[in-house]
Structure 1
Amino acid sequence: MLSSSSSERWLSRGLLDVLIRAGLIAVLAIACFRVFYPFLNLMVWSLILAVTLYPLQVGLKDKLISKDGHAATLIVLIAIAIIIVPAYLLGAAIVEPVQQAMGTVESGEFQIPPPAESVAHWPLVGQRLYDFWSQAATDLTGVAQKFAPQLKDFGVALLKAIAGVGSGLLMFSVALIIAGVIMAYGDKGHRSAVQIASRISGPERGPRITQLCTATIRAVAQGVIGIAFIQMLLVGVAFVIKGIPGAGLLALGVLLLGIMQLPATLITVPVIVFVFATEGVSVVAIIFSIYVFVAGLADNVLKPLLLGRGVDVPMPVVLIGALGGMVTGGIIGLFVGPVLLAVGYQLFWQWVEDQPQVASSDDSGQS
């Protein structure tokens, strides 16, 4: 038998050993996180892309290509080509008009047409817009000098935005390559994910949580991109039929806004104003404006129908997770938010449903 003092010393020594081990593990975890943190966004993007594109690899493997590595390589090459070619065409389409505009301004041949008389009768801003437009049409140099600081700030912001887009495309391309490596070992990766989830939440819930995370990522990716693509078609066709200048670029902008979860009205409303300003009020302009404005709001109807399909979680949970994640974490948060909220929702209701049936047993005993 151990005395009380010796047992206390043994307990204190055991507690000290536990604290030392926990401290060392915490230090190791923090050090590993600091080393891995610069690559966190890249790896999260790679994992999202791998989970989203993996069904395509399975289809290619079953029908055309026998090896996982070859199928993943083909998907990555096609995806990079789909990104680079439109990016090059978009850059060329932007640079060439800018160069032509700069040459026109330098030659002094650039003239702004005077506004229509109907602009002055627009409610609230009509007279101010008419006066400013008239001044720009008669004295463009004076207007440019008046707003020189604002134009300079706008130019700097535009250059930063273009640089950000370039770096984003580069990171996305690298993430695609890493996603191809992950897809090449898709079966092993799935087993590892199930093992990790089972170790955290138990062997019964692990496979369910893994399946839920996978389905949520795919549903958000397909829902967001699919909705943005449908909206681009609805708006872009109207722009092309109406003959709006730069209709293709504007439609591409609608697609990008849809992916970033921003309203398409940022593009459709200025286009509507442009049509009324250049053509005046007519039946065709009114029909075009109503259609384009409604098409710009189509995502509000499509999201409840498409977002979250195939996920064993109510659609509002996925939608709130996507919007909240977008606000807090940007584009990556658009995918991470629904996953976290869906997993939390499932764990919460499992905890609620797993409560012991105390009341029913007491009732049976009293009876």
Structure 2
Amino acid sequence: MVTLRQPRDVAQILLSVLFLAVMIVACLWIVQPFILGFAWAGTVVVATWPLLLRLQKILFGRRGLAVLVMTLLLFLLFIIPIALLVNSLVDSSGPVIRSITSGEMTVPDLAWLHSIPLVGERLYGAWHSLLEMGGSAIMAKMRPYIGATTTWFVGQAAHIGRFMMHCALMLVFSALLYWRGEHVALGIRHFATRLAGERGDAAVLLAAQAVRAVALGVVVTALVQAILGGIGLAISGVPYATIFTVVMVLTCLVQLGPLLVLVPCIIWLYWSGDTTWGTVLLVWSCVVGTMDNVIRPVLIRMGADLPLILILSGVIGGLIAFGMIGLFIGPVLLAVTWRLFAAWVHEIPSPATDPDVLLHELEELEEKNQQ
């Protein structure tokens, strides 16, 4: 007996897929204002979940008290410093932006070059020879680009209202995730298992490890080094210490370290004759510049070492795509993708055959086929 196969209803399948796509896009459109805040909260909660469990044990096993303490800690140690940093950056950069965009900024005379032994007069003469050859004209041509670039960078930090909204959402979502963290994690693992079986569940666990590795080993280390370096700059009397602190956050995130900012400030203090505070900042910089070698191994316990280019791309790309909040989300997204890709590649053993032997075998096979 021949069983006739029922033809597929192509129109029904297309309309079903179209309906599901429209529903997904509509849902994403609705929750779009909350995605960044939720992603930030998820990163923070995953990174600090062991601390929550320890607090819960200390507080007689009460989850509510532990959630309250963690939320207050996030507000005091994370939100307030970043908000003050952004406000101070905008306030300090205002005169610089006005000076650049209004055309009041001129090429400096650099009269202090005279005080350099042996080569000071030559450097001063060479500098003014450059100015006479068109240095002012070059400055006039570069001023619009400098102003536009500086305005763009400061504009990323100037969206205080949007940034504070994400901070508030991060706090709210963090409290909710702390409260129902086990259920949320189980739901995500269940969904991943439904999509890809055991591989999906393993992918979620690897993603959590990558998030914790970046959040603790990269972001926290960078913030600690930058904040301590900024404290040293402020105590030593270096002007625009807040702006230098922001720059140190960036240099630490891309694994260049805080010394890239601290060393010029030390040189400036010695050059201006303030040798006492210059020495203090020198000693403090030695401590701050090397503390990442102690902090990072303690924080990254799962050994998720990440390539430098990955962190650099995540920081710069996250800043361009999402603004200031992208400094934290960008490296995390790339790290998660990298860990999942690496796990997928290493599911099979690497090729052990010598390339020359393999090529020779291929040549022999081609000769046999031609015969």
TM-score normalised by length of structure 1: 0.65
What is the CA deviation profile of residues 287-313 of structure 1, one whole-angstrom value per residue up to 9, with x for unaligned ones? 9779959965886x67985685415x5
Structure 1 residue 18, shift from structure 2 partner:
3.1
**Cα deviation digits, residues 170-202 of structure 1 (max 9, x gap):** 412321221111111011012112212212221
Letter aligned with residue 313 of structure 2? G
Judge conservation of contact 1:116–1:277 (CA < 8 Å) in 2: no
| CA distances 1:5-50 after superposition (whole Å, capped 9, x unpaired) | xx47x3x334443333233223322332333333322221121122
Question: How many Å separate the matches in 1 of 2:169 and 2:296?
Answer: 33
**Ranges of 4+ aligned residues in structure 1 off by more than 6 Å:** 96-99, 120-125, 145-152, 282-291, 301-304
- 2:215 is equivalent to residue 218 of structure 1: no
Judge conservation of contact 1:72–1:184 (CA < 8 Å) in 2: yes
Aligned equivalent of 2:312, options 296, 312, 323: 323
Identity of aligned residues (%): 21
Aligned length: 319
Cα distance between partner residues in 2 of 1:273 and 1:125: 21
In the alignment, structure 1 residue 261 sits paired with structure 2 residue 258: no
Partner of 2:75: 80
Q: Residues 124 and 83 from structure 1, CA distance in 2 versus in 1: closer, same or farther, beyond 3 angstroms?
A: farther
RMSD over aligned CA atoms reads 4.8
SS of aligned partner of 1:13: coil
- Cα shift at 1:278: 1.9
Partner of 1:45: 40
Counterpart of 1:197? 192
CA contact (8 A) 2:217 2:296 kept: no
Contact 1:231 1:254 in 2 (8 A): no
What is the alpha-carbon distance in structure 1 between the residues aligned to residue 60 and residue 128 of structure 2? 66
> Which of 274, 278, 288 is matched with 2:272 structurally?
278
Contact 2:251 2:260 (8 Å CA) reproduced: no
Q: 2:221 aligns with which of 216, 224, 227?
A: 227
Contact persistence 1:228–1:256 (CA under 8 A)? yes
String of CA shifts for 1:218-251, please: whole Å, max 9, x gaps: 111111134325534774576578x342596477
Q: Tell me, which stretches of 5 or more residues in structure 1 are unaligned?
A: 103-111, 133-144, 354-367
Q: What residue is the counterpart of 1:68 in the other structure?
A: 63
1:84/1:292 CA distance change after superposition, 3 Å? closer
Contact in 2 for aligned 1:57/1:71 (Cα 8 Å):
yes
Task: Decide whether the 8 Å contact of 2:216 with 2:300 is kept in 1.
Answer: no
Q: C-alpha distance in 2, partners of 1:51/1:125?
A: 59
Q: Which moved more, 1:29-38 or 1:255-264?
A: 255-264
Is 1:177 matched with 2:166? no
Aligned residue for 1:66, secondary structure, equals coil
1:115·1:130 contact (CA, 8 Å) conserved in 2? Answer: no
Whether the aligned pair in 1 keeps the contact of 2:230 and 2:244 (CA below 8 Å) is yes
CA distance in 1, matches of 2:178, 2:317: 29
Residue 209 of structure 1 corresponds to 203
- The answer to whether 1:336 aligns with 2:333 is yes
| 2:347 partner letter | Q
Name the residue aligned to 1:349. Answer: 346
Kept in 2: contact 1:232–1:255 (CA 8 A) = yes
Is 2:114–2:124's contact at 8 Å kept on the other side of the alignment?
Answer: no
Letter in 1 for 2:51: L
Question: Over residues 128-170 of structure 1, what are the superposed CA-to-partner deviations in whole Å (9 max), with x where a residue is unaligned?
Answer: 79769xxxxxxxxxxxx99997897688557625413564344
Give distance in 2, aligned partners of 1:302 and 1:122. 42
Distance, in Å, in 1 between the alignment partners of 2:120 and 2:344 is 54
Q: Which residue number corresponds to residue 18 of structure 2? A: 23
Q: Which residue type is aligned with residue 205 of structure 2? A: Q
Judged with a 3 Å threshold, the aligned counterparts in structure 2 of structure 1 residues 50 and 32 are, in CA distance, closer, same or farther, namely: same
Deviation at 1:52, TM superposition (A): 1.7
Q: 1:21 to 1:250 in 2, by over 3 A?
A: closer
CA contact (8 A) 1:197 1:207 kept: yes
Deviates more, 1:52-61 or 1:167-176: 167-176
Does the Cα contact within 8 Å between 2:223 and 2:249 map onto a contact in 1? no
Deviations, residues 63-116 of structure 1 (Å, cap 9, x unaligned)? 1153333322321122212345445765579969999xx9xxxxxxxxx99626
- Aligned pair in 2 of structure 1 residues 26, 121: CA closer, same or farther (>3 Å)? farther
* Cα separation, 2, equivalents of 1:62 and 1:41: 31
Number of the residue aligned with 2:357: none
- Classify 1:55/1:326 alpha carbon distance in 2 versus 1 (closer, same or farther; 3 Å): same
Unaligned residue ranges in structure 2 (runs of 5+)? 99-108, 130-139, 319-325, 351-371
Contact 1:46–1:176 (Cα < 8 Å) also in 2: yes
SS of equivalent residue, structure 2 residue 238: coil
**1:56 Cα shift?**
1.9
Whole-Å separation in 2 of the counterparts to 1:227 and 1:21:
48
